[in-house]
Amino acid sequence: MLVAGQHFFPATDPYRLGRKSLAVNLSDLAACAAVPRYALLALALPEADEPWLAAFSDGFWSLADAWDVELIGGDTTRGPLTISVTIMGEVDAQHALRRDAARDGDALWLSGCTGEAALGLACLQDSDPAGEWAGALSAALTVAQRQQCLQRLEDPTPRVLLGQRLRGVANSAIDISDGLLADLDHVLQASGLRAEIELSQLPCAPALQQLNDQALQRRYLLSGGDDYELLFTAAPSMTSRIQGIADALQLPLTRIGTLVQAVGDQVGLIRLHEADGSLFHPQHRGFDHFGFDHSAVTRDQGEKRE
Amino acid sequence: MLVAGQHFFPATDPYRLGRKSLAVNLSDLAACAAVPRYALLALALPEADEPWLAAFSDGFWSLADAWDVELIGGDTTRGPLTISVTIMGEVDAQHALRRDAARDGDALWLSGCTGEAALGLACLQDSDPAGEWAGALSAALTVAQRQQCLQRLEDPTPRVLLGQRLRGVANSAIDISDGLLADLDHVLQASGLRAEIELSQLPCAPALQQLNDQALQRRYLLSGGDDYELLFTAAPSMTSRIQGIADALQLPLTRIGTLVQAVGDQVGLIRLHEADGSLFHPQHRGFDHFGFDHSAVTRDQGEKRE
């Protein structure tokens, strides 16, 4: 369920919003290794705005057609702008990827990279002269970088083919919507494991590098949210097969850590290793569903700048 | 999708709201003759109100358990109070009841009676001293009648068993959510037919009779909405089987009219016959999704009282 003012700005381009409302659901199916089949769309609109609805529908259908998804039902009603999509897909029960099937010793893999969508959200807030960014990002990033970040935020690419290719290869998977650490936590809790992550292995997009602020980079990489990349685990013996999938899909797949057996309160523990062997302790583990708290980010910045 | 302020008052008893949010979906399955199986629930809440959520869940589950419906997914997020339920059921393709399969000469049948829910809504508005009813209904109805109408509005009974019993008996069916005439129109348009209705055959609940105002009664009976009764069509030869189903379910099933072949702009025509053979022309055909317009009702009343 996507709610205006919570999950997107009311003025968001409706074509992109139509795409994203289906994309985030396709991403859930991707994480299950399922083939998308059917969708239902329930829409509440403050008024019957024909041009908005036409653009939204065009966006929704552009992605539905691309993935051969049939719209089999739904609802339209008056109300605060709210989008609720239900999606159904198919996968053999024995091939379905789950959160609770990661194993001790599994390598932890990440598709693409994280953090650009959260930076895209910051770019949208940047133009507010009274806001916390107050134009600082416009100065720091190139136009192309800002557009790339906005595209990641507003028009994410669900990793549908990757999910299907991981059948019989990965032991578990999840898509990253709440941030890398928060979604990894779901896998660890469900599988009763803990994780060791090598920070130097985390892929970092050019726009994030450009910020030239390691604390901020890591905040976006680890806790940004809205990434819709797949985080999956597989036996180390699967490494060459996974590299083959990366080549075939022309999609970077990076091993970023290892999962380890855990007991008691160690379940869910995530240790973040610096290149020098020391541990990094993030201030914020997950994405706050009730709004991204930028105050902590800018406080970090401020301290560094002082 | 049920939106606070549009489909229900924000202060509605959350237990009943939980039941209704599933009931209106069960009613859709009933109209297809399907067996309920799975549901998904997406909820937007302005704040994390634990007692409200507990009562809502109790209500939802009371009906889910009664019909053996499994909750297989959903979402909870912050936003204006909005409830979006997706339901799935099973029925053999050849036994599914559809809107587009009514036939020339079919008898038109109605389960239970219509109008009480709309009168229940009016009762809720009645207590507002500045409102259009301003207490008139409290004077007209007994306490038991008001409670019956409120129950029909807030805790409707989906006709799930009836739908299933109509397999192989009815040719088409629809559930009445927008009012008898509006939902009959969906069947007529889909099946290319027109209808003849005998007004004297329409079952009229005691509370509606008590109003002692025929124009108002008919407004509620024909266009009230939120009834969740089944309107179905069957060959006249099925009459005794249908009466047997009514006996078995202890649910009144009333033949209220006949469907007739139509061409061109006669498709969708509904003729409402008075007992004396004259025709009745209703002012309002359907329920307005964007709020029940009581001004017309009270104008009717006013004219009669003058």
How high is the mean pLDDT of chain B?
Answer: 90
pLDDT score, position B292 = 35
| B6 to A75: CB separation less than 8 angstroms, yes or no | no
Rounded CA gap, B53 and B72, in Å? 18
Chain A residues in contact with B42 by the CB 8 A cut-off are 1, 84, 86
Closest-CA distance of chain A to residue B80, Å: 7
Chain B residues in contact with A3 by the CB 8 A cut-off are 44, 77-80, 82
Cβ within 8 Å of residue A47, ≥6 positions away: A78
Note if the pTM is more than 0.80: yes
Residue A234: phi and psi, rounded to 5, are -155, 155
Residue indicated by tokens 């017309």: B296
Rounded CA gap, B69 and B22, in Å? 10
So what's the ipTM on this one? Answer: 0.80
pLDDT digits (tens, 9 = 90+) for B89-118: 999 999 999 999 999 999 999 999 999 999
pLDDT score, position A292 = 35
Instruction: Please enumerate residues of A whose Cβ is less than 8 A from a Cβ of B.
Output: 1, 3, 5-7, 40, 42-44, 73, 75, 77-80, 82, 84, 86, 289-290
| B1 to A44: CB separation less than 8 angstroms, yes or no | yes
| B3 to A77: CB separation less than 8 angstroms, yes or no | yes
pLDDT score, position A135 = 75
| A82 to B289: CB separation less than 8 angstroms, yes or no | no
Rounded CA gap, B43 and B78, in Å? 8
Residue B285 pLDDT grade (very low, low, confident, very high; cuts 50, 70, 90) = low
Q: Which residues of chain A have pLDDT under 50?
A: 287-306
3-state secondary structure chain B: CEEECCCECCCCCHHHHHHHHHHHHHHHHHHCCCEEEEEEEEEEECCCCHHHHHHHHHHHHHHHHHCCCEEEEEEEEECCCEEEEEEEEECCHHHCCECCCCCCCCEEEEECCCCHHHHHHHHHHHCCCCCCCCCHHHHHCCHHHHHHHHHHHHCCCCCHHHHHHCCCCCCEEEECCCCHHHHHHHHHHHHCEEEEEEHHHCCCCHHHHHCCCHHHHHHHHHHCCCCCCEEEEECHHHHHHHHHHHHHHCCCEEEEEEEEECCHHHCCCEEEECCCCCEECCCCCCCCCCCCCHHHHHHHHHHHHC
pLDDT score, position A137 = 81
Decide if B118 contacts B226 (C-beta within 8 A): yes
Closest-CA distance of chain B to residue A85, Å: 9
| B82 to A290: CB separation less than 8 angstroms, yes or no | no
Please return the burial class of A235, using the count of CB atoms within 10 Å of its CB with bins 0-12, 13-18 and 19+.
middle
Chain B residues in contact with A1 by the CB 8 A cut-off are 42-44, 75, 77, 79, 82, 84
